[in-house]
Amino acid sequence: MAHRPSFLLVQTRPGTEAAFRERQSVAHIAGLSLPQLAECRLDEEVLHGNTGIDWEALSAGHKGILLGGSPFDAGAAVKDDFQIAVETELARLLDFAFHRDIPFLGLCYGVGAIGTYLGGVVDTTYGEDAGPVTITLTDAARRDPVFAGLPREFTALVGHHEALRETPPGAELLATGEAAPVQAFRAGECMYATQFHPELDADAIIYRLELYADRGYMDLSRKAEIYAVIRAANLTHSHRVLRNFARTFG
C-alpha cells in the first residue's frame, strides 16, 4: 500500500543526486518511508522561472515542513540573482509557516534562513569546521517535545561557514555548542531550527564533504583523520531530534 506523504521537504540544494541523497537521509533518520516525504526542489522551481509559489496549496495535507541544508550562505555580503530569488521564495514560505503555526524544522541552513527572517545577525563569527561537537541543551529544551529523551549533552555533526551571533528576537534558545552559541532554537509555537545536522549519519556527511570539497568546510590535508573521527562519533541522540519532530507532529 502506498503511503501518503506526511511531511514536505523543501530543498535548495542544486544537483539531482545530492538532493535525492538529502531526502533519503532525512526520511531514514526521521523514521519515514521515502514516499512519506514529499519534496519541493525550490532551486529547480526558481531556475525554471516558477516564483510566487502557492505555499498553502503545496503544503496542504502535510503534517509539517522541513527545510534541508544548502550550499548558500544566508549571511553572504554578495549574492547572485539566483540565490536572491531562492531566498525571496523562502522568506515567503517562512512567513506563511510562522503565521499559520505550521510545524517547521530547518536543518543547518535553517538557522540562517529563519534567524535572518526573525531579524537575527548571521555572519562568519561562529563558523565551525566539519566534524562532531558537543551540544548542550538549555532548560527550555528539557521541556520541549522535540528534544524529549535527550541527555543534557550529546554529540552531533556540524559544518558551516556562518552562524547566528545570538538567539534571534522572539525566539527561545534550545541548545548551544562549544564554538557556536546558537545550536538550536524555537520561534513561535512550532518553528524550529538546528545549526547541527540531526539528519546526517557518517556516510551522508562524508558524501557531502566530498561533493563540496572546494567549499572550505574542512582542512583537506586532514581528511582521513577527520573522516575517522566522524565515523567513530555516536550520533544516536542527535538523530532523535529529527525523529521526535516527525513523531510529535506526524
* Entry pTM: 0.94
What's the pLDDT score for residue 14? 85
Q: What is the pLDDT of residues 169-207, one digit of tens each?
A: 999 999 999 899 999 999 999 999 999 999 999 999 999
Q: Which residues contact 193 (CB under 8 A, 6 or more apart)?
A: 105, 106, 107, 110, 111, 113, 114, 115, 184, 185, 187
- What's the distance, CA 98 to chain centroid? 16
Contact 100, 58 (CB under 8 A): no
Residue 3 has pLDDT above 60, yes or no: no
Confidence band (pLDDT; 50, 70, 90) for 137? very high
Output the domain CATH number for residue 175. 3.40.50.880
15 is in which domain, residue-wise?
A: 7-249
Phi, psi of 75, rounded to the nearest 5 degrees: -100, 15
Cα–Cα separations (whole angstroms), residue 181 to 56, 126, 133, 229: 34, 8, 12, 23
C-alpha cell at 114: 529563519
Q: What is the pLDDT of residues 197-218, one digit of tens each?
A: 999 999 999 999 998 888 878 8
Q: What is the DSSP string of 42-69?
A: HHHHHHTT--S--HHHHHTT-SEEEE--
Average pLDDT of every residue of the chain? 93
Residue 1 has pLDDT above 60, yes or no: no
Q: Which helix (H) or strand (E) holds 249?
A: helix 236-249
165 domain-assigned: yes
34 domain-assigned: yes
Length of the chain: 250
180 domain-assigned: yes
116 domain-assigned: yes
1 domain-assigned: no
Closest CA to 119 of 180, 64, 75, 68: 75
Q: What is the pLDDT of residues 44-89, one digit of tens each?
A: 999 888 889 999 999 999 999 999 988 777 878 888 898 899 999 9
Give the number of domains in the chain: 1
37 domain-assigned: yes
Q: Which residues contact 236 (CB under 8 A, 6 or more apart)?
A: none
2 domain-assigned: no
Whole-number percent of the chain with pLDDT over 70: 98
Residue 4 has pLDDT above 90, yes or no: no
Q: Are strands 128-137 and 104-107 parallel, antiparallel or unpaired?
A: unpaired
233 domain-assigned: yes
